[in-house]
Amino acid sequence: MSERYPAMPPRNPNPPYKRIATEEAWLTPEIMALYKKEISEKTINDPGFNQLWGFFAGDSDMAQNQQRRIQSLGADRLADMDASGIDIAVLSLGSPGVQLFDTARATALAAESNDQLAEAITRHPDRFVGLAAFSPLDTDNAAKELERGVTKLGLRGGILNGHTLGTYLDDEKYWQVFEAAEALDVPIYLHPNMPSKQMIEPFLSRALDAAIYGFACDTGLHALRLLIAGVFDRFPKLQIILGHCGEALPYWLYRIDFMHSRIAATGRHPNVKPLKRRAWDYLCDNFHYTSSGVGWEPPIRFVQDQIGVDRMMYAMDYPWQFVKEEVGALDAMDISDAAKKAFFEDNARKLFKIA
């Protein structure tokens, strides 16, 4: 039996790999100020946002430290990376990013954020890589901003922070951004948002709405909606990234595949049609996974064993789960040197085209 709380040994001071952390959050000062304004004025009817950011946009010492870290694109972040043994951080706009706001404002904020991120990468090109924000419900401009971010600013993919005001992107009218990602040959990171207003109520009274459980429920739901809607039949080369060891979907791989095939075959639901491949295949071939927030060997090895060593990447989930000692635990994983190098470095270099 494994230890209930596994030990975290010191990290390897001279590993035969670079450590690339692939789900590291940041926010612009402008967006942080808007979050505080919306909370103060009580103008956002989003219970999950109000519960989570109502605390982290506040004045407590913990909240202030979180705000300092998440807004840093310089000395504070680099110092934390050095203290943790992180060589390169893949930065993306923290949840809910621009997706809290109306379409026009979200589009403008996404462009401003992408410009700021590109400038920071220019200052620290050997330490930072970035993903482009976009306004998912802006069908005219979402794909254009992703393309601008990649082709003009040098960003390496897109960040989709879950649902947008309760809307998921399985409706075909929002698929231009997936078409653009496939054409650009870049991934989209499907990062958690708080559960939508439609589903969050039972989570709130026990604070289950965020990272402890709600994030996985909502993000896994979004991923499966995309799969079952046929996104990957339309765009077979599209790659989606899921954090937190896959939001539990790898564990449910057999049952998702079995039940989807039965529902589709019976024709009992008008919105569930047979797909070109098995649900199993899409979850193995069109998704990459990261360890964000899971500094524990067994689930990481499960994804490597069942999905593929070439599909699992390291992430810390900074600053939300800043546990600098976890790198030592993962350095010590009982896996081959090649699998460890793939996990920490090679897979991220390939997917994000990091030279």
DSSP for residue 14: S
Which is catalytic among the residues 46, 209, 317, 331? 317
**Residue 102 is a catalytic residue:** no
**Half-sphere exposure of residue 185: CA atoms within 13 angstroms, side-chain side:** 4
Q: How far is CA 317 from CA 82, 204, 244, in A?
A: 15, 23, 9
What is the DSSP annotation of 278-346?
Answer: -HHHHHHHSEEEE-TT---HHHHHHHHHHT-GGGEE----TTTT--TTHHHHHHT-SS-HHHHHIIIII
**First-to-last CA distance in the chain?**
41
Q: How far is CA 180 from CA 228, 237, 258, in A?
A: 20, 11, 31
- Amino acid, res. 156: R
Listed residue (37, 80, 28, 30) closest to 326, CA to CA: 80
List the catalytic residues: 317
